[in-house]
Amino acid sequence: MESNRRSFLKVSGICALGLGALPVADALAKAALPNFLANPKELAGKKWAMVVDMKKCWEKSEKGCHDCINACHVFHNVPDIGTVKEEVKWIWQEHYENTFPGQTNEFNVENIKDKPFMNLCNHCTNPPCVRVCPTKATFKRADGIVMMDYHRCIGCRFCMAGCPYGSRSFNFRDPRPYIKTELNPTFPTRERGVVEKCNFCAERLAEGLMPSCVESCKNGALAFGDLEDPKSTVRKLLASHYTIVRKPELGTGPNVYYII
């Protein structure tokens, strides 16, 4: 309580001196509220990112394994609609030429062009999906995670048109009857007319857990961590491996990196 009082007095002092243009409420939110709200178990990061080591992904099978897809889709109650047109997906496989168009040529991808690559939302640094959403149903958190508020989504699908990675799915029908696995009561199901996508397991990070895809991968092909932390696994992987991202020429700043 004493430290909270001190934080409040500090912020009040700054405002009184006129040193900051921030409104009091904003300053309080930045300076004092974390002391009240922080979950001691929560995994905190300044810029979350993922590194996908495709060589490890293919170790188990040339066709890639589905452990991460299954874990993610079960955890998030992702429906299995059964048609490509209405497919709902958070993490999925694509061929090289669809994952990295523009980075293909007929010579240097000979050994990888037919192999599957894991695709998911890139939690872009400059996400076009956020810019085009008219209701702010999709928004970017301070730690870089691009989130969806399903209750605000009006199903206009501007975000789907804005995303150059096909990372978003639309529920053309009520998805609930198509959830083929046991319902996870800790994660909300969605409704007809709502867009959804990967959320970097924000709800698990809040509980101190790694994303379900990362946790489920037995080959260590998926690494998740804070790009702003030089000691994080992702930073170490990026420092020691050549990596590529999807469609870098678009300037979206993808935060999912691939070791190929």
Torsion of CA 66, 99, 88, 70, to 10 degrees: 10
For binding to ligand SF4 (CB under 6 A), which residues are involved? 121-124, 127-129, 146, 163, 165, 167-168, 197, 252
Sequence-distant (6+) residues with CB within 8 A of 3 are 35
Give the shortest CB-146-to-ligand SF4 separation in angstroms: 4
Closer residue to ligand SF4, CB minimum distance, 52 or 163: 163
Evaluate whether 152 touches 177 at the Cβ level (below 8 Å): no
| Least Å from the CB of residue 44 to ligand SF4 | 20
Q: How far is the CB of 32 from ligand SF4 (least distance, A)?
A: 31
The residue (of 232 and 252) whose beta carbon lies closer to ligand SF4 is: 252
Pairing mode of beta strands 48-53, 222-226: antiparallel
Query: What DSSP character marks residue 9?
Result: H
- In degrees, rounded to 5, the angle at the alpha carbon of residue 222 between the alpha carbons of residues 219 and 227 is 145
CB nearer to ligand SF4: pick between 32 and 195: 195
Q: Tell me the two tokens of residue 212.
A: 């379900």
Read off the DSSP letter of residue 259: E
Identify which of residues 221 and 256 has a Cβ nearer to ligand SF4 in the complex. 256
Considering the complex, what minimum distance in angstroms separates the CB of residue 250 from ligand SF4?
Answer: 9
Q: For residue 129, what are its two tokens?
A: 């999906």
Looking at the Cβ atoms of 167 and 232, the one nearer to ligand SF4 is 167
Q: Which residue has the tokens 């030089």?
A: 230
CB of 162 to ligand SF4, least distance (A): 6
Amino acid, res. 54 = M
